[in-house]
Amino acid sequence: MLVLFVLEAKLRGSTKQFALIDEMIRTAGFVRNSCLRYWMDNRGVGQYDLSALCAVLAKEYEWAKKLNSQARQASAERAWQSIKRFYDNCKNPTIKKKGYPRFKKSRSVEYKTTGYKLSEDRQSITFTDGFKAGSFRMMGAFDLNYYQPEQIKRVRVVRRADGYYTQFCIAHDRLEKVEPTEQVIALDVGLMHFYTDNRGNKVENPRHLRKSEKALKRLQRRVSRKVKGSNKRKKAINKLGRKHLKVSRQRKDFAVKLARCVVKSNDLVVFEKLIVRNMVKNRRLAKSISDAAWRQFFEWLEYYGQVFGKIVIAVPPQYTSTECSSCHRIVKKSLSERTHACECGCILDRDENASRNLLAKGLEYLSRGGHSRIKDTALAGSPTLASVWYAQGHLNLCSISESLLNKFGG
């Protein structure tokens, strides 16, 4: 089983070098936005037209030419991804918000297999395209030694609140043999507990998330008190950004460990698909933090499902909390009612009842369609490069902080 995953290292270099990286990032953003503009202005533009546009841009603008040609292509591909997402959403009547592609300020630049070089010891990276950013020492790149250069499919440079990072997207043949456990599990997520399984076991919400939530609120208030455009405000925004980074790293750590444990100790894992619509609607910070934590947890469940050769299914949410898991009557309850009590005599913890329903649904899916059908219904299905960046590259987490920063950065 070929698995894609992301290794990350912090870059060490001079201020001058980082200014050049900023230019690289700006140029990548320029290419992406130009592609978008071209698509908006011309009917029926496809992926190949955008790819061809890259060469035109390079001819027209001296500085666009400086960016490695494959990196230009990667930027065009990113533009196409958001266009394609929009087209796909338009075809799906259940999605109300179609997400028309928008111009974005870029925070990263992506290389494919050229435009950079790794040192012999693989602890430094040199960017070899026209920007001549030079060599950077990489902090925490130790793991890179385990992989061959041809396993590196993409390299991305990301700007964050606390510095610049490289991410390596690595393809690795990874299937760890584990003995069947003969156990199945279904997970119901909720705001009271991180999840409740079908046996009534509960995993608490990680305390650091709650604590961080308070700290984030405090930092946000601090930003909004400062005068717009002032240096103090800039500093406060940076502090807020750093806190978001810290939270996202803690969250990732929690998700990885928990997901690995759950998949390893069960042969079948069922969870409820998170509906993006509902998530966007809820602007409350507490909720958005939990959503991001679950989303990441689910993505790691699917990843480990592939690594360990286990079945991981996301089922669409329908009546899972109201239906009686024993007789299938609908038993309505308010959000504050924590117990499911049915006329049939079934009395269960509310979330335990829900996760039992999830398990039944998961088994129904399996019996109806086998594994091939499941792929379509799962959260991510087989991983594509984009979804791997998305899942493992902190992107979904940073998007929260980005939108917040945009709000405050004005």
Binding site for Zn ion (CB under 5 A): 324, 326-327, 329, 342, 344, 346
Of 205 and 357, nearer to Zn ion (C-beta) is 357
Q: Convert 59-126 into a string of H (helix), E (strand) and C (coil).
A: HHCHHHHHCCHHHHHHHHHHHHHHHHHHHHHHHCCCCCCCCCCCCCCCCEEEECCCCEEECCCCCEEE
Least spacing, CB of residue 355 vs Zn ion, in Å? 16
Three-state DSSP state, 169:
strand
Phi-psi label, residue 115: left if phi above 0, alpha if psi -120 to 50, beta otherwise? left
Helix (H) or strand (E) holding 13: none
Nearer to Zn ion, 103 or 319 (CB): 319
Rounded Cα–Cα distance for residues 213 and 208 (Å): 8
Minimum gap (Å) between residue 79 Cβ and Zn ion? 52
| Largest interatomic CA distance in the chain | 76
- Minimum distance from CB of 362 to Zn ion (Å)? 20
Shortest distance in whole angstroms from residue 343 CB to Zn ion:
6
Q: Which residue, among 276, 256, 265, has the nearest Cα to 199 in the 3D structure?
A: 265
Q: Is 296 helix (H, G, I), strand (E, B) or coil?
A: helix
By C-beta, is 110 or 323 nearer to Zn ion?
323
Closest separation between CB of residue 333 and Zn ion, Å? 13
Closest approach of Zn ion to the CB of residue 329, in Å: 5
Single-letter amino acid, residue 342? C
Q: Which is nearer to Zn ion, 52 or 327 (CB)?
A: 327
| Choice between 90 and 344, CB closer to Zn ion | 344
CA 311, chain centre distance (Å): 21
Fill in the DSSP letter of residue 383. Answer: P
- As a whole number of angstroms, the distance between CA 140 and CA 134 comes to 19
User: Considering the complex, what minimum distance in angstroms separates the CB of residue 335 from Zn ion?
Assistant: 20
| Helical ranges in 158-230 per DSSP H | 207-225
Please tell me the distance from the alpha carbon of residue 324 to that of residue 331, in angstroms, as a whole number.
7
For the CB of residue 242, give the shortest distance to Zn ion in the complex, in Å.
50
Say how far residue 342 (Cα) sits from the centre of its chain: 39
Min CB(353)–Zn ion separation in Å: 9
In DSSP notation, 175-193 reads ---------EEEEE--SSS
Gap between the Cα atoms of 209 and 302, Å rounded: 23
CB nearer to Zn ion: pick between 216 and 342: 342
Taking the least distance from each CB to Zn ion, the nearer of 120 and 343 is 343
- The count of residues in the chain is 410
Least Å distance, CB 303 to Zn ion, is 36
**Choice between 46 and 200, CB closer to Zn ion:** 200
Choice between 21 and 342, CB closer to Zn ion: 342
Residue (1 or 327) nearer to Zn ion, CB: 327
Of 168, 163, 154, 166, the closest CA to residue 75 belongs to 154
